[in-house]
Amino acid sequence: MRADAQRNRQALLGAAERLLATRGLTITLDDVAAEAGLNVATAYRHFANKQELFEAVVREEIDRAASIVADAAANPDAEAGMRDFLAQTLALITTKRSLHDILTPGVADRWLSELDARLEPLLGELIERGQRTGVVRAGVQPGDLGVVLQMLCAVTDIPSSDPEALRIRYLELLLDGLRATGGSGSLPGRAPSSRVARQSLEQEMKSRTHRGAGHAVRADPARG
């Protein structure tokens, strides 16, 4: 793709994300083109319809999530890698809540199965490296990290004069809980599977999206 065409595509994807956050699935390709400052014909050269555009937005977020985990797993400092993974994934989840409207039943399965397939090996590598260096206690599994992220998401809903400090406070507490400590013993029970943990987090974020953005009207994503 030529550089100018790539710039236009990224401008359309950015515009779509902004409009999804404020107007939900009612937006059209004409709306997105106007928001991006482009002719609508340019939008249709890149995307046949808004469903195709929405799928491109989701794929970009999957790529972003996979990149966060890959970078964390490759970090030579295993503790810094785990901290970066939790902090950056939390930021991605909480700033992209509008995207959960796209993942309607029937659409979600394909995309979220791909997300699981790409992230599970990377999460396993991140945990294994942490366990080898004593940063992560024995018995922690990828599904545990999904639950930890759900805990951190709950913190973002607590009213605070300094929300960033509050987020960091509980991030540090949860990192302490993940660390290997002498005589800590085995973890009781079993972690949920990565799929179950992710589905629970997905449902929670979808509920929060609807509570916080009641003005966004749900619509058939194929329309427009």
Structure-token match 């997905």, residue found:
202
Residue type, 57: V
Residue 88 has pLDDT above 70, yes or no: yes
pLDDT digits (tens, 9 = 90+) for 207-224: 655 555 444 334 444 444
Fold classification of 1-48 is Arc Repressor Mutant, subunit A (1.10.10)
Q: How far apart are CA 176 and CA 170, in angstroms?
A: 10
Say whether pLDDT at 145 is over 80.
Answer: yes
Residue 153 to residue 155: CA distance in whole angstroms: 5
Question: Could you report the per-residue pLDDT of 4-51, keeping only the tens digit for each?
Answer: 889 999 999 999 988 887 887 788 999 999 999 999 999 999 999 988
Q: Global pTM? A: 0.74
> What sign does the CA torsion over 119, 66, 174, 132 have?
positive
CA distances from residue 143 to 69, 116, 148, 222 in whole angstroms, order as listed:
14, 11, 9, 33
d(CA 67, CA 72): 8
What span, in angstroms and rounded, lies between the C-alpha atoms of 56 and 113? 16
Q: Across 56-70, 102-116, 187-201, which has the greatest mean pLDDT?
A: 56-70
Architecture per CATH, domain 57-212, reads as Orthogonal Bundle (1.10)
Taking alpha carbons only, the member of 128, 95, 130, 99 closest to residue 115 is: 99
Q: How far apart are CA 217 and CA 39, in angstroms?
A: 26
Q: Which residue has the tokens 């939900």?
A: 24
Element (H, E) at 34: helix 29-36
Can you give the residue ranges of every domain in the chain?
1-48, 57-212
Model pLDDT for residues 159-206, shown as the tens digit of each residue: 889 988 998 999 999 998 888 775 456 777 777 776 676 666 666 655
**Would you say 92 and 68 are in contact if contact means Cβ atoms under 8 Å apart?**
yes
